[in-house]
Amino acid sequence: MTNLTHLTIAEALDALKKKDFTAKELTEAHVKATSEFRHLNAYVTETPEIAVEQAEASDKRRAKGEAGLLEGIPLAIKDLYCTKGVRTTASSKILENFIPTYDSTVSGNLMRDGAIMLGKTSLDEFAMGSSNTTSAYGNVINPWKRSTGDNADLVPGGSSGGSAAIVAARAAMGSTGTDTGGSIRQPASFCGIAGIKPTYGRCSRWGIIAFASSLDQAGPFARTVEDCAIMLQSMSGYDPKDSTSANQPVPDFRAALSGSIKGLRVGIPKEYNVDGLPAEIAKLWEQGKDWLRSEGAEIIDVSLPHSKYALPVYYILAPAECSSNLARYDGVRYGLRVEGKDLTETYEKTRAQGFGNEVKRRIMIGTYVLSAGYYDAYYTKAQKIRRLIAEDFAKAYEKCDVLLSPTAPSAAFAIGENEDDPVKMYLNDVFTIPASLAGLPGMSVPAGMSSDGLPLGLQIIGKPWDEATVLRVGHVIEKAAAITALPAMLMKKAA
Ligand code: GLN
């Protein structure tokens, strides 16, 4: 029988329709793979019983002719999405025992369409990080290893590291992530899979634990662009429960893949040629331009002059919003409570013990930039520059239809690297944050391999609401790159 865990979502949907196997068989194969890859520590909570139960219900629906868009497809859900009756921790100690009484809109949409939940994946605590090393439940390990034979455990990227690692390990067919400044795109690049952050407002934020509300967006990870398109279809849509959800028509994303890119104008932001960009990444970027050119696209140089301020702006605005969003974790309403002699001491002890260092660092920065004497100097200023960054994109899009850049300035690094220097860690998102600040859709597609055998992604950034073109360009790059390499630990398994 075919190796069920190596199928794409599109292939599995066809095979389920043809009754080649059942959703229960497909799910059980993934539950088994989940246990085989437990050493990656990708999950905070596995939910095999729920998965099998859902699969049985899915088979019944299909038999009755009621199959949904993702009928019978086993997925992993980032542990930032509230799931009814299933512990949801945000990878924080402060939410160790939090069991939501409702489903987030987006995970609910996936289940409505017949998807099956394998478990809740680990992330950087409250989605703050680029390495999945700030989780209170331990590091997540990337299934890829360097080909140099050093055998070091590598980070999967972050914050959606568990979701990316488990899809790369072929133990889930797809997964959900969230992206505030790069948390879908950078882990997708590090793990050699595809991931798309849609336009801000495309997917509801309702029931997704908030980090920075003006930036947070849900999106899918999968092993192909087509699978991302299928998942995004289900995840998207207007939700009256989220006041920032946009009432925009959702196009047929999968159908958009078949169009040609002839005549499409692809902008190359010159400022993304940052100092110290590794030669192999610059080369991959060139290769990407060539692939698109040979499909009839026109390559155009554009300028995003304010993008050099994107990182400092982000590291004012995101902490500011997080400091206010995380004020609700006070030991009274949710999760952990450490009793003190009075209410204030209870707050202090709960927050001191419940939050990790990175979260505390951000709450302190956020509180500082929002405090009376500094508000205008930092917060207001950053808001103004955010507007300029967004205007740069709008201007660039007068000349082009999409932008192409590397996703990240490096391949996956070893666990522990960059740990002593938060600023160096923050540089991971230099290419992803500008689009986040402007609310634009962005996707990472596997496009090449580093000299030490690790996956590298290219990023496609689109106009607002134009995920369809982003996906189409991603599909062209994916076909041209035709990557067949697998993490060595999977090849051993197959052998
Ligand atoms: N790495 C960035 C940060 O630490 C982005 C995280 C994210 O997108 N959630 O904030």
Check if 157 has its Cβ closer than 6 Å to any atom of ligand 1: no
Q: pTM score > 0.75 for this model? A: yes
18 catalytic? Reply is no
Query: And the tokens for 290?
Result: 């060539």
Q: How far apart are CA 138 and CA 79, in angstroms?
A: 14
Q: Is residue 182, in this structure, part of any structural domain at all? A: yes
58 catalytic? Reply is no
Which residue's C-alpha comes closest to atom 4 of ligand 1?
Answer: 129
Q: Which residues pair with 460 in a beta bridge?
A: 404, 443
Q: In tens digits, what is the pLDDT along the chain, a chain of 495 residues?
A: 579 999 999 999 999 999 999 999 999 999 999 999 999 999 999 999 999 999 999 999 999 999 999 999 999 999 999 999 999 999 999 999 999 999 999 999 999 999 999 999 999 999 999 999 999 999 999 999 999 989 999 999 999 999 999 999 999 999 999 999 999 999 999 999 999 999 999 999 999 999 999 999 999 999 999 999 999 999 999 999 999 999 999 999 999 999 899 999 999 999 999 888 999 999 999 999 999 999 999 999 999 999 999 999 999 999 999 999 999 999 998 889 999 999 999 999 999 999 999 999 999 999 999 999 999 999 999 999 999 999 999 999 999 999 999 999 999 999 988 877 777 778 889 999 999 999 999 999 999 999 999 999 999 999 999 999 999 999 999 999 999 999 999 986 655
Q: Is residue 388, in this structure, part of any structural domain at all? A: no
The residue to mutate among 92, 130, 410, having the most atoms of ligand 1 within 8 angstroms of its beta carbon, is 130
Q: Is residue 21, in this structure, part of any structural domain at all? A: yes
Per-residue burial over 405-424, b = 16 or more CB atoms within 10 Å of its CB, e = otherwise: bbbbbbbbbebebbeeeeee
> In this predicted structure, what is the pLDDT of residue 90?
98
Cα 368 to its chain centre, rounded Å, is 28
213 catalytic? Reply is no
Q: How far apart are CA 222 and CA 167, in angstroms?
A: 6
Q: How far apart are CA 250 and CA 399, in angstroms?
A: 25
3-state SS, 313-382, equals HHHHHHHHHHHHHHHHCCCCCCCCCCCCCCHHHHHHHHHHHHCCHHHHHHHHHHHHHHCCCCHHHHHHHH
For residue 175, the enclosing domain spans 4-264+399-494
Q: Is residue 416, in this structure, part of any structural domain at all? A: yes
> In this predicted structure, what is the pLDDT of residue 1?
54
Q: Is residue 309, in this structure, part of any structural domain at all? A: no
Q: Is residue 10, in this structure, part of any structural domain at all? A: yes
Q: Which atom of ligand 1 is nearest to the CA of 127?
A: 9
Q: Go through the chain and tell me how many residues it has.
A: 495
* List 58, 107, 135, 183, catalytic entry: 183
> In this predicted structure, what is the pLDDT of residue 259?
84
Cβ atoms of residues 20 and 72 within 8 Å: no
The residue to mutate among 183, 196, 428, having the most atoms of ligand 1 within 8 angstroms of its beta carbon, is 183
Cβ atoms of residues 347 and 330 within 8 Å: yes
Cβ atoms of residues 231 and 70 within 8 Å: yes
Residue 331, helix vs strand vs coil: coil
Under the phi-then-psi rule, with left for phi > 0, alpha for psi from -120 to 50, and beta for the rest, what region is 489?
Answer: alpha
Provide the CATH number for the domain around residue 49.
3.90.1300.10
* List 78, 93, 145, 463, catalytic entry: 78
How many separate domains does the chain show?
Answer: 1
Check if 219 has its Cβ closer than 6 Å to any atom of ligand 1: no
> In this predicted structure, what is the pLDDT of residue 493?
62
Burial group, residue 199, by CB count within 10 angstroms (0-12, 13-18, 19+):
buried
Q: Is residue 282, in this structure, part of any structural domain at all? A: no
Which residue's C-alpha comes closest to atom 10 of ligand 1?
Answer: 128
Q: Is residue 129, in this structure, part of any structural domain at all? A: yes
